[in-house]
A = this chain, B = another copy of it.
Amino acid sequence: MSRLFLRTLRDDPADAEVPSHKLLVRAGYVRRVAPGIYSWLPLGLRVLARIEHIVREEMDAIGAQEVRFPALLPREPYEASNRWTEYGPNLFRLQDRRGNDMLLGPTHEEMFALVVKDMFSSYKDLPLSLYQIQTKYRDEARPRAGILRGREFVMKDSYSFDIDDEGLERSYQAHRAAYIRIFDRLGFDYAVVHADSGAMGGSASEEFLVVAETGEDTFVRSPGGYAANVEAVTTVVPEPQPYDDVPPAHAEITPDTPTIETLVDHLNEAFAREDRPWTAADTLKNVLVTLRYPDGTSEPLAIGLPGDREVDTKRLETQVAPAEVEPFGEAEFAAHPALVKGYIGPGVLGEKSETGIRYLVDPRVVEGTRWVTGANVSGSHVIDLVYGRDFTADGTIEAAEVKPGDPAPDGSGPLELARGIEMGHVFQLGRKYAEALGLKVLDENGKLVTVTMGSYGFGVSRAVAAIIENSYDERGIIWPREVAPFDVHLVVAGKDPAQFSAAEELVAQFESAGLEVLYDDRPKVSPGVKFKDAELIGIPTIVVVGKGLADGFVEVKDRATGERHDVAIGEVVGTLTAGH
Which residues 102-144 in A have Cβ within 8 Å of B in the complex? 102, 104, 111, 115, 118-120, 128, 130, 135, 137, 139, 141
Which residues 67-84 in A have Cβ within 8 Å of B in the complex? 67-74
Which residues 33-48 in A have Cβ within 8 Å of B in the complex? 33-34, 37-42, 45, 48
C-alpha spacing A495/B459, complex, angstroms? 45
C-alpha spacing A3/B129, complex, angstroms? 10
Residue contacts A-B, CB under 8 angstroms, 17 given: A3-B65, A7-B119, A33-B74, A34-B70, A34-B74, A34-B102, A38-B70, A39-B68, A39-B70, A40-B67, A40-B68, A71-B152, A72-B152, A89-B97, A93-B94, A94-B94, A97-B139
A96 at interface (Cβ–Cβ under 8 A)?
yes
A185 at interface (Cβ–Cβ under 8 A)?
no
* Residue-wise interface mask of A (440-471) relative to B, using a CB-CB cutoff of 8 A (1 in contact, 0 not): 00000000000000000000000000000000
C-alpha spacing A63/B74, complex, angstroms? 40
Q: Which of A5, A6, A94 gathers the greatest number of chain B CB atoms within 10 Å?
A: A5
Are the CB atoms of A135 and B39 closer together than 8 Å?
Answer: no
Which of chain B's residues have a CB closer than 8 A to the CB of A67?
5, 39-42, 45
Residue of B nearest to A130 (CB): B5
A177 at interface (Cβ–Cβ under 8 A)?
no
Copies in the complex: 2
C-alpha spacing A65/B67, complex, angstroms? 27
Secondary structure of the A side of the interface? mixed
Q: Count residues of chain A with CB under 8 A from any CB of chain B.
A: 51
Report if A111-B5 is in contact (Cβ < 8 Å); known contacts: A71-B152, A92-B96, A118-B31.
no
Which residues 352-397 in A have Cβ within 8 Å of B in the complex? none
* Minimum Cβ distance to chain B for residue A488 (Å): 19
* Minimum Cβ distance to chain B for residue A296 (Å): 15
A213 at interface (Cβ–Cβ under 8 A)?
no
C-alpha spacing A141/B97, complex, angstroms? 8
* Minimum Cβ distance to chain B for residue A547 (Å): 28
C-alpha spacing A55/B215, complex, angstroms? 39
A66 at interface (Cβ–Cβ under 8 A)?
yes
Are the CB atoms of B72 and A128 closer together than 8 Å?
Answer: no
A498 at interface (Cβ–Cβ under 8 A)?
no
Which of chain B's residues have a CB closer than 8 A to the CB of A3?
63, 65
Which of chain B's residues have a CB closer than 8 A to the CB of A40?
67-69
A62 at interface (Cβ–Cβ under 8 A)?
no
* Minimum Cβ distance to chain B for residue A87 (Å): 11
Which of chain B's residues have a CB closer than 8 A to the CB of A69?
33, 39-40
C-alpha spacing A55/B45, complex, angstroms? 16
Residue of B nearest to A150 (CB): B70
A508 at interface (Cβ–Cβ under 8 A)?
no
Which residues 121-179 in A have Cβ within 8 Å of B in the complex? 128, 130, 135, 137, 139, 141, 151-152
Which of chain B's residues have a CB closer than 8 A to the CB of A100?
34
Which of chain B's residues have a CB closer than 8 A to the CB of A65?
3-5, 42
Residue of B nearest to A42 (CB): B65
Which of chain B's residues have a CB closer than 8 A to the CB of A102?
34
C-alpha spacing A461/B69, complex, angstroms? 13
Are the CB atoms of A72 and B45 closer together than 8 Å?
Answer: no
Residue of B nearest to A34 (CB): B74
Residue of B nearest to A46 (CB): B66
Q: A34-B100, A37-B72 are in contact. List 15 more A-B contacts (CB 8 A).
A: A3-B65, A4-B65, A28-B119, A31-B119, A33-B70, A34-B73, A39-B69, A39-B111, A39-B115, A40-B68, A41-B115, A45-B66, A72-B92, A72-B151, A94-B94
Are the CB atoms of A70 and B7 closer together than 8 Å?
Answer: no
Report if A111-B4 is in contact (Cβ < 8 Å); known contacts: A45-B67, A72-B92, A89-B97.
no
C-alpha spacing A48/B6, complex, angstroms? 29
Are the CB atoms of A92 and B94 closer together than 8 Å?
Answer: yes
Residue of B nearest to A112 (CB): B39
* Minimum Cβ distance to chain B for residue A404 (Å): 35
Which of chain B's residues have a CB closer than 8 A to the CB of A33?
69-70, 73-74, 111
